[in-house]
Structure 1
Amino acid sequence: MDKKAIRKKIIAQRDDLDFDVKQSKDELIINRFLDQGFIEKYDNIFCYVSFGSEIDNGKILSTILDSGKNLFVPYVDTDSMQMRLCQINDLSEDLERGHYGILEPKKNLRKPVNSGIIDCVISPGVAFTRKMERIGYGGGYYDRFYSGLKKMPFVVALAYDFQIVDSLPTESFDIPVDMIITEKQIIK
């Protein structure tokens, strides 16, 4: 299967999850992530803001802020079509609908950030393998972001167990993750 077909299949499975089942799986994944101690270990955390049928990571975002750590979230610079980072301090005040309808930092908060300070990334993705390979939505935003860093941060992905597949048609520019957390397992 090519990347496009894999994306379509996995996203359809995610979209078809019953609301209560999704909520239960999300809670297991989020608690499993929080139990790993990443928020205590890292000071500058970059985390996506969940969208659509992605795992609801709002509890992670609020826990990072409540712990006094620095939370950075992505936005798309529509001029360069590059993903940029922005530090936020308040989930209810600092975000608005942006590119693709995803919550992004308000425009007045966007200032240049030294991406090199990021020590942990909580990454979205559509499909993963046990070899830590990842494919996203096809825009290449995260791969381009990682390739521009001098030092790779620790990258953890949150996924439903069915998002783990036997193999993916990856390419040289596809950057793997360091850990995958699902409702049933931790792969590292």
Structure 2
Amino acid sequence: MLSSTSNIKRALRAELRERRRTRTSTERQSDTTAFTANLVSLVGSTGAKRVACYLSGQNEPNTRPFLNWALANDVEVLLPISREDGLLDWAHGDGETETEGPHGMPEVVGEPLGPIAINDVDLVIIPAAAIDRGGMRMGWGRGYFDKTLGSMQKCPPVYAVIYDDELLDSVPREVHDQPVNGVVTPSRILTF
């Protein structure tokens, strides 16, 4: 039986998923340019040389232009691969080769480096459904990033990539949910 918090999350996720689905191609293009500029700025301001990021799905903020920039500018990027045990493995990508993961999300094709490879990055960039003004993250419900962040020995700054209207006053929270240090939206970089 689902808790009331789980039900609230499920309803909010459905609303956010629909908002993303109905964004126009013009909005997406403009937002992608802005996301890329802000992600590049975040890497510059943190001095990150090794970054963990994700491959964006169809309706997610597009990370590919940023990943291409990182590849061209000698920023090492680790990309996640979903494992059956609920953890994330990490691999380097070539910027082009992808496959579909177990939940329909794009994943890098590369030699798995193991779940602890993320412990050596300078910056973590993750997806989210919404973030509240205190930095609490609501993901899409599979728990991969919560488990990863919760198990890290020393966690570098973690930033979620969301649209401006996904920064909310509050999000429903469960025990396993992990906060982030900031968000990157098309209009700004916000550090909590």
The verdict on a shared fold, with TM-score over 0.5 as the criterion, is: yes
Which residue in the other structure is 2:135 paired with? 132
Mapping of 1:18-167 within 5 angstroms? Answer: 18-38=24-44, 41-78=47-84, 80-88=85-93, 90-93=94-97, 95-106=98-109, 109-112=111-114, 114-167=117-170
State the Cα deviation string for residues 46-104 of structure 1 (Å, max 9, x = none). Answer: 101000210111111111111222210001112x232211122x1113x2222222221
State the Cα deviation string for residues 11-63 of structure 1 (Å, max 9, x = none). Answer: 11011001111211221122122123448711221101000210111111111
Number of aligned positions between the proteins: 184
State the Cα deviation string for residues 142-165 of structure 1 (Å, max 9, x = none). Answer: 010011111011111111111111
TM-score by length of 2: 0.88
Partner Cα distance (1:103, 1:120) in 2: 21
Note the C-alpha offset of 1:186.
2.7
The percent identity for this pair of structures is 24
Taking a change above 3 Å as real, the CA distance of residues 85 and 21 of structure 1, as seen in their structure-2 partners, is: same
- Which amino acid letter does the alignment assign opposite residue 114 of structure 1? A
Backbone CA RMSD of aligned residues: 1.8
Partner Cα distance (1:29, 1:43) in 2: 19
SS in 2 for 1:50: coil
- Which amino acid letter does the alignment assign opposite residue 105 of structure 1? V
TM-score by length of 1: 0.89
Partner Cα distance (1:137, 1:121) in 2: 17
What runs of 5+ residues in structure 1 fail to find an aligned partner? none
